Amino acid sequence: MAVQQLREFRLKPKVHQSIWAKVGLPAGEGPVLSDAINHGFSIDVVNRFAEAVSMPVTNLVQYAGLSRATFARRVKDKEHRLKPSESEAFARMIRMYEAATLMLGGNKADAIQWLNEPAIGLNGKRPIELMGSESGTVDVIRLINRLMHGVYM
C-alpha cells in the first residue's frame, strides 16, 4: 500500500480595507488626514464614497451641506478639488459611516439603513441629516458609542 503524502493548506485571512482606503485617503485621523483636508479632497473621493455606500453623489453633496451648483463648479474646476471646509464635511460623513459600520459588525447595508432611520437618541432625526455639521456628527458618534456600550439614554 502506497503512502499518500498530505499537503497542508493555509487559508489567507481576509484583509479588511478601511473605508478611508476605499475612497482613496491615506488615513482616517491624524496629521495625514488633516493635510489631505487642507489640500482639498479630490472629486474622486466623493465619487468613490458614493459608490462604497451605494448612494447617489447628489444626496451626499446635500448631506454635506453643499449646493448642487457649488459641487458642479468643483467638478468643472481644472483641479477637481473640494475646498478644505467641504473636504472636512466629507471627512465627517466618512467618519460617521465608519462608526455605524463598526457598531453593526461590519455590515455596510445595515449601517446605511441605520443612518437613514430616525433615532430616538437624536430626537427623532435621522443620523444622516446631521452629517453636515461638526456638532451633529459628534452627537451621532456619541450615540453610536453609547449604543455599543449598552447605554441607551
Any domain includes 120? yes
Length of the chain: 153
Counting the structural domains of the chain, the total is 1
In a domain, 17, yes or no: no
Establish if 7 belongs to a structural domain.
Answer: no
Dihedral sign, Cα of residue 18, residue 88, residue 128, residue 65: negative
- Quick one: pLDDT at residue 150? 85
Residue 31 maps to a domain: yes
Per-residue pLDDT of the chain (153 residues; tens, 9 = 90+): 667 676 665 655 555 678 999 999 988 888 999 999 999 999 999 999 999 999 999 999 999 999 999 999 999 998 899 999 999 999 999 999 999 999 999 999 999 999 999 999 999 999 999 988 899 999 999 999 999 988 765
Q: Flag whether 14 is in a domain.
A: no
Q: Which domain holds residue 56?
A: 27-148
Residue 12 lies in a domain: no
* pLDDT given at position 30: 87
User: Which residues does 144 contact at the CB level (< 8 Å), separation at least 6?
Assistant: 99, 100, 102, 103
pTM, 2 dp = 0.83
> Is 52 contained in some domain?
yes
> Does some domain include residue 133?
yes
